[in-house]
Amino acid sequence: MLGHSAISLGRPEEALEHLEACARLSPSCEEALELRALAHHYNPGSGPEEVAAAARSYGAYLRQAAERYAPDTVRMFPEPVPAAGPVRVGFISSDLRRHSVSYFFHAVLAHHDASLISPVVYSTTNNPDGVTRWLKDAAPGVPWRELRKPGAGALAKVLRADRVHLAVDLHGITNGHPLRALAMRPTHSAATYLGYPGTTGLASLHGRVVDALTDPPGAERYAVEPLYRIAPCFLCYTPTPDSPPAPERPPVSAPGRVVLASMNALAKLNDPLLRRWARLLGLLPEATLLIKSRNLERPGVLEDFHGRVLAAGIPEGRFELIGSLAERNDHLAVFERAHIGLDAFPYHGTTTTCECLMMNLPVVTQVGDRHAARVGLSLLSAVGLPELVAHSEEQYIEKVVALAHDTARLADYHRTLRQRMLASPLCDGPAFGPKLSRVLADIARRVRPAAVEAPVWA
């Protein structure tokens, strides 16, 4: 689909044109509705109202599809939550492998409070790897159900048969999500967490886990699910054991002679952002820009993006483009070549920002008007780096330029950021795990049996 290709290439406005046209021609085209919801997160021209409206449209489609799936339902209530004891929580994801979700799910498993929740993992990944094993080893007593490409009905029946009280979607509206199954209401309650920066639009979910910085008071109007906030940050990052040692960068040779870098997905690198980076290079005549992103190793993608960089006003010779590298440590080694990380806007980096901090690379971010544009604020605040957070484009540029000229502060960041992050709440699994367990148990217990709708299948 043209819309999917345009999203992947960092052309969200073009993607939305294709997807809106498709939705008008075929209002029940699930792929168009799903991709439209995703594209709005990437588009700097979309406001939080449009992001939420697109998700609600997709959620309504899922609900209607679930009711069509089994029109002759037998009215039976899902497994009730016990008055005392742990809540049986089913975590569902196809990303439990070397994927961004895994680095934030490890602490959830390793440090869950067994007096509050009894986890079961439903892994629908088709390519388990060493990271899958790392996750399993984090909590050897937690059952794993390996399900290869289950249909929505099949997954719903497994959740029901396993008597899960609370199903937790770790996807949101991303590829491989279980929302079709959860729309069938196979469990007493359901929630979404971790894998997506906004509402799913699905009214049969009973909670979404966020924090007060990503979703401040008032964000409820953009959410279909009730918001449950964890302080100080809704995420907890765990680096894998094979992470390389902290780099030892040589000092910046002269003020302003720095390498600015972005390691974010190409989909996040829209044209206004590239023009902003062109302004930075104009203000820092001795700086260069390094962009590493998956798919830039593909000739057609590289040619397209190279042309966009030039069109944004970044001259040849001032930038370098790097694609995927087979080994993760080779990927992280690229961070050693940079002095300042540039967060994307409006869709912030998450794993990328954590990897930057792990590699002693400071990241400057700009706060926006929705969850996707506020994650950087949450991450950097948790590590104690509010000075790297901008609240406008002009402030973003000012902060990058000032930092590029402050060689002493750069040198300090380049020595200490990993240590500061690992000692911060962002990496404090023993504190985070029980907090999340408490929130999940609370979501399940707040749903009264009389409020649980009958499933649409039997």
Domain boundaries, the chain: 2-69, 87-236+429-451, 259-426
What mean pLDDT comes out for the span 412-418? 98
Confidence band, pLDDT 50/70/90 cuts, at residue 453: low
Answer CATH for 87-236+429-451 from 1.10.3720.10, 3.40.1350.10, 3.40.50.11380, 3.40.50.1000: 3.40.50.11380
pLDDT at 197: 98
What mean pLDDT comes out for the span 211-215? 99
- For domain 259-426, say whether CATH 3.40.50.620 is its number: no
Residue 89 has pLDDT above 60, yes or no: yes
Check if 2-69 and 87-236+429-451 are the same fold.
Answer: no
pLDDT at 321: 98
Please tell me the pTM assigned to this model.
0.95
pLDDT at 79: 75
pLDDT at 418: 98
pLDDT per position as a tens digit, 24-45: 888 889 999 999 999 999 999 9
Q: Residues of the chain with pLDDT > 70: what percent?
A: 96
Confidence band, pLDDT 50/70/90 cuts, at residue 76: very low
Computed over every residue of the chain, the mean pLDDT equals 94
pLDDT at 74: 31
Residue 134 has pLDDT above 90, yes or no: yes
Residue 250 has pLDDT above 60, yes or no: yes
Residue, of 23 and 287, whose pLDDT is higher: 287
Task: Among 151-155, 217-221, 366-370, name the one with the lowest average pLDDT.
Answer: 151-155
Task: Among 147-161, 188-202, 315-329, name the one with the lowest average pLDDT.
Answer: 147-161
Confidence band, pLDDT 50/70/90 cuts, at residue 149: confident
User: Quick one: fold of 2-69?
Assistant: 1.25.40
Q: Name which of 225, 223, 172 is nearest 34 in CA terms.
A: 172
Q: Residues of the chain with pLDDT > 90: what percent?
A: 88
What mean pLDDT comes out for the span 123-151? 94
Confidence band, pLDDT 50/70/90 cuts, at residue 69: confident
Residue, of 166 and 448, whose pLDDT is higher: 166
Task: Among 144-148, 165-169, 387-391, 450-454, name the one with the lowest average pLDDT.
Answer: 450-454
Task: Among 16-30, 122-136, 418-432, name the one with the lowest average pLDDT.
Answer: 16-30
Residue 70 has pLDDT above 60, yes or no: no
Confidence band, pLDDT 50/70/90 cuts, at residue 2: confident
Residue 71 has pLDDT above 80, yes or no: no
What mean pLDDT comes out for the span 7-19? 96
pLDDT at 28: 85
What mean pLDDT comes out for the span 93-112? 97
Residue 424 has pLDDT above 50, yes or no: yes
pLDDT at 72: 38
pLDDT at 232: 98
Residue 168 has pLDDT above 90, yes or no: yes
pLDDT at 80: 82
What mean pLDDT comes out for the span 308-321? 98
What phi, psi does 75 have (nearest 5°)? -75, 100
